[in-house]
Chains A and B, each alone.
Chain A
């Protein structure tokens, strides 16, 4: 059990980190804008984080190599498209979440992950997801739920996922 004191400490830590991450994100966006790059719904670092989560969230559902890598990239694209369809406030919250997870201190504190996301093992990622899913912090449970919905939604929106679940796709009307 997490004590109230621990809860408050982690809560305050997360709040400080969120604020710092927001500032950090702001600075980075200005740099990106200055460099003339389009700012898509998921930037490269967010894509790396999502890309690390996808094979774990979708364990048992993805095709084997060599097509696996391409499929993961497409699901990450799908997550980006889904984020772009959310309300402005939800988009901003997700930006902050990814910015936060991209900060090494937050990665260690909130995820217990010492290596950068692309190098994290699948077991480590699974452990992080389990930790958030059952966290005493509503913030982390909600973050888990958001990533769950984004990744699973992006995959099962894709026609290539349908044969394995016996879904014939929509009928023809004409």
Chain B
């Protein structure tokens, strides 16, 4: 029997309220209210609660835990993901995977843990005035969060899906390295994306949030933070709307949370959207701008041997060969990784229909897939997208795909196909509506060169939404300062991936953990927290 720390906590008296079941409006008071329970909200909650501050967490998604995680896509996508894992950009050319549950994306991510690349930090210091974002200054915070969340080298043999990247890379002289993972006692099942059934993944759901709840934090679920009520240069209250039993449509029930300080950790679409709905002062139109995705293009290969990409740690190897070849602000570089292969995710991502699609699906156990994550936001022609509000106030990202992007996408498709053939692939298919699939590298090279790269024809996905509330030292170009404090509103901080002024060039969870740990520790002191936060102790302040 696997222990479920969340159900145990509920039985022990955690204060958790599902707003979809509330019978009447009820207001809450706290020292700090945190919007969102993902990487930023989880770390914030633990450190603030440990400092003796009264914390209220507001989460739009439901509370689910290991007893609910049955590794079935039909259940996991509607329960745990934004818009059932079918969130789209405005023109619907990019599909976005983002968590929407207690723990946010950390509940459903694939556990890849990278420190922020030095080239990214150097760019931030040079272009955004983030002088203290150095490797040295951040190192203690990375160490402390790595310790807290069990981030370590993954020494188990990679599954064949990842192994193919290694084999192909070796034959071409492309360096492939191991990915560190935030797991303890991992069973190597391969279902991280559907919620970890064994609580091995050290997501916010089983680490920081239980710690905060055990110290008396209040968690409100299925509650949408609607707007900040502003007065003068401060926030007076957070107005929230309860969601209905479907967790989607709002009910006619509003409540308010009053706090000394307000923390936005709703993610890179949610946080800017909340500021936009609140009509927060934004004379330069910076809020929601420069939102980045690490847009991903995909290459699927049929291997002679069984791959079983649904089994084993989903991401254990990567290559930065094509990130490091050019300067960070040159032609867009890309990181290579492999994804987990589950039937719904693969079938819906794969182009075409009817007998062609069925034929590709019949090779599922021998299918190997590579992803190229494009590093957006560093070149003038890579300005990212802009968060807009729909009529109902929900966010939608307008992210146009331009020639600069498609140039990199073509190079990425070439690189992936060459690696797959070098590893022995029998057939490689770029995931593109016009791709017939190729039986050899030369054929693929000519075919990819001729593919018309256009929105919708080329499949583009993303699991890393960043930016939209950029940090920086210049209020005309950024929303918050380097400590996550809003430039204009005194008692408001943004502690999530929306503060990144560019994309990262690496999976974002660990960067969010470490940077938020530092910024929220500073906030806790400022608010007169009585106890030192554990993260700060280990980090030596």
What residues of chain A have their CB less than 8 Å away from a CB belonging to chain B? 56-61, 78, 81-82, 84-91, 126, 129, 133-134, 138, 141-142, 144-146, 148-149, 151-153, 155-158, 161-162, 164-167, 170-171, 173-174
Contacts and interface: CB of A to CB of B under 8 A. Distances in A.
Given A152-B348, A167-B343, A126 B87 contact: no
B362 A164 contact: yes
Given A58-B358, A138-B455, A152-B353, A173 B248 contact: no
- Which one of B1, B77, B347, B365 has the highest number of Cβ atoms from chain A below 10 Å of its Cβ? B347
Given A81-B78, A89-B394, A145-B456, 11 more contacts: A57-B357, A58-B358, A59-B353, A59-B355, A86-B84, A134-B434, A141-B456, A157-B344, A158-B74, A171-B311, A173-B197
Contact of B354 (A86, A126, A141, A162): A126
A86 B347 contact: no
A47 to B, nearest CB: 19
B70 interface: yes
Nearest to B189: A171
8 contacts: A86-B84, A138-B93, A142-B456, A148-B348, A152-B348, A152-B350, A152-B353, A171-B189
A48 B397 CA distance: 32
Interface in B341-370: 343-344, 346-348, 350, 353-355, 357-359, 361-362, 364-365
B73 interface: yes
A81 B191 CA distance: 23
Contacts of B353: 56-59, 129, 148, 151-152
A157 B92 CA distance: 22
B198 interface: yes
Given A141-B456, A170-B191, A153 B347 contact: yes
Interface string B67-108: 000111110011000111011100111000000000000000
Interface residues of B, number: 53
A112 B311 CA distance: 44
A102 to B, nearest CB: 21
A173 B456 contact: no
A151 B434 CA distance: 20
B133 interface: no
Contacts, number: 131
Interface of B: 1-2, 70-74, 77-78, 82-84, 86-88, 91-93, 187, 189, 191, 197-198, 246, 248-249, 310-311, 343-344, 346-348, 350, 353-355, 357-359, 361-362, 364-365, 390, 392, 394, 396, 433-434, 455-457
Nearest to B79: A85
A152 B357 contact: yes
B455 A153 contact: no
Given A59-B354, A60-B358, A61-B361, A167 B310 contact: yes
A165 B82 CA distance: 28
Given A88-B392, A134-B433, A156 B83 contact: no
Contacts of A148: 348, 353
B91 A138 contact: yes
A152 B434 CA distance: 19
A99 to B, nearest CB: 18
Contacts of B71: 170-171
A85 B78 contact: yes
B93 to A, nearest CB: 8
Contact of B248 (A59, A60, A87, A166): A87
- Which one of A134, A170, A171 has the highest number of Cβ atoms from chain B below 10 Å of its Cβ? A170
Contact of B72 (A149, A161, A170): A170
Contact of B83 (A90, A157, A170): A90
B433 A86 contact: no
A145 B88 CA distance: 11
A85 B77 CA distance: 9
A153 B348 contact: yes
Contacts of B344: 152-153, 156-157
A90 B86 contact: yes
B1 A174 contact: yes
B359 A60 contact: yes
Give 9 nearest A-B pairs by CB, closest first: A85-B78, A170-B71, A60-B358, A157-B74, A85-B84, A141-B456, A142-B92, A59-B354, A156-B343
A134 B88 CA distance: 19
Nearest to A173: B197
A62 B86 CA distance: 24
